[in-house]
Amino acid sequence: MPEAPGPLWQALSVVGFALLVGAYLVNQRGRTSPTSVRYLAANAVGSGLLAAYSGLIREWVFVGLEGFWCVASLWALRGALAGEAPGGGGTPTGGAR
């Protein structure tokens, strides 16, 4: 059995969880958009932390799940920062975020 991650990694996993759940709750309450930079950044960082933690504890299915979510969030974040419309069509949104 692998050695348990130290307190730093355990704290980082809690931060990752809090970012994901916090972004979800804020979105559900209508206080942000799922295409906003803050929402996408919270998802990318949170899922990245959880993917790394999952690798440390050798939970490979969660490495895949959180890794996929991180990459998807980073892809959408790249588009949002470039001013593309949701869906990656490359068309500027023209609106303020």
pLDDT tier for residue 4 given thresholds of 50, 70 and 90: confident
pLDDT for position 29: 96
CA distance 25 to 45: 16
pLDDT at 96 over 50: no
pTM of the model: 0.83
Residue 17's contacts (CB-CB under 8 Å, 6 or more residues apart) are 46, 50
pLDDT in tens, 47-93: 999 999 999 999 999 999 999 999 999 999 999 999 887 765 544 44
